[in-house]
Amino acid sequence: MTSQPTTTGGRSLSPARRAQLTGVRTAFGALDRVAPTVSARWALRIWCTIPRNKGLRRDERPGAGECSTVALPPGRELVVETWGAGEPVYLVHGWGGWRGQLGTFVAPLVAAGRRVVAFDTPSHGESGTGFLGPRRSTAVEMIDALRAVAATHGPPSAVVAHSLGATVATMAAADGLDVGRLALVAPSAEVLTMTDAMAQRLGYGPRTKRRFDGQLAALAGRPLRDFDLTGHDITVPVLVVHDRRDKEVPYAEGVRIADAWPTAELLSTDGLGHQRILRDADVVEAVTRFVTA
């Protein structure tokens, strides 16, 4: 078994959390040898469970906007908030986040004559539970949410997306949604890199991972290679913003995406990490300028 990680998402683990992870890794190691299918199902549940992190619930909105709901079949409900008037710019949060995280972009975009549309994806923020149940969701469900909100509030003139939200926005564009312009903040290039990282962190081997990847693809309804953003022909203008010291999504991921698309440009920062980059005044100004160009 590989050595136990002492950090998660770039943060040091507490002794209690380290002991818990040791127990999880021991269990996964045993199941990987005798029951890899069971191990894969357990890993899939962990993969689809939304983290609890107070930092992901920061509220940067300048004030309350106009709230409404959008139905997402079958029986799911999304909370949507809008500010201003004009061409719509969509804000898409990442895994475990919510619409308030990207609130720093609201005021400058409204001042530039745009209508800002922010929403919580299923099982996130104030939206209803997703189809997998409380605190569980998938990237595909998040993509469906963006498409449903755009169908109600109009085609985006631009999308500003963070972390997994960047995957959501790019995949929606690849599937035919007219997104106008894309500003991707701290994006991940592909899912398979993340599944490799989870296998290493949880301590299971190729037998479990092979089954896990198959179960995840079945749940998504498409091959996992489809989630390699660099494999899609994105022709709209794209701004990739990534911090060199991002401990959750490596800077190299953003560089790879920016290099893959001829219409993309890269804005690099240093020392803002994965979350503070959303609150940096220079980043907000650059994204606003790009979105409203």
> How does pLDDT run along the chain (293 residues), one tens digit per residue?
223 233 344 456 677 777 888 889 999 999 989 999 999 999 999 999 998 876 678 999 999 999 999 999 888 999 999 999 999 999 999 999 999 999 999 999 999 999 999 999 999 999 999 999 999 999 999 999 999 999 999 999 999 999 999 999 999 999 999 999 999 999 999 988 899 999 999 999 999 999 999 999 999 999 999 999 999 999 999 999 999 999 999 999 999 999 999 999 999 999 999 999 999 999 999 999 999 99
Q: How far apart are CA 282 and CA 109, in angstroms?
A: 14
pLDDT for residue 12:
60
Query: What are 53-107's pLDDT values in tens digits?
Result: 766 789 999 999 999 999 998 889 999 999 999 999 999 999 999 999 999 999 9
pLDDT for residue 3:
32
pLDDT for residue 6:
33
Looking at the structure, give the CATH architecture of the domain made up of residues 54-189+232-291.
Answer: 3-Layer(aba) Sandwich (3.40)
Both tokens of residue 42?
A: 């357990």
Q: How far apart are CA 293 and CA 290, in angstroms?
A: 5
pLDDT for residue 54:
66
Looking only at the bridges linking them, the beta strands covering 114-119 and 76-83 are: antiparallel
Per domain, the residue ranges of the chain are 13-48+193-216, 54-189+232-291
> What is the three-class DSSP state of 229?
helix
Query: What are 122-134's pLDDT values in tens digits?
Result: 999 999 999 999 9
The Cα-based distances of 74 to 43, 139, 141, 145, 256 in angstroms read 26, 17, 11, 12, 37
For residue 74, whether the previous peptide bond is cis, meaning omega lies within 30 degrees of 0, is yes
**Which H or E run contains 191?**
helix 191-202
With beta carbons less than 8 A apart as the criterion, state whether 111 and 104 touch.
no
pLDDT for residue 9:
44
Q: How far apart are CA 114 and CA 85, in angstroms?
A: 6
Backbone conformation region of residue 30, classed left if phi is above 0, alpha if psi is from -120 to 50, else beta: alpha
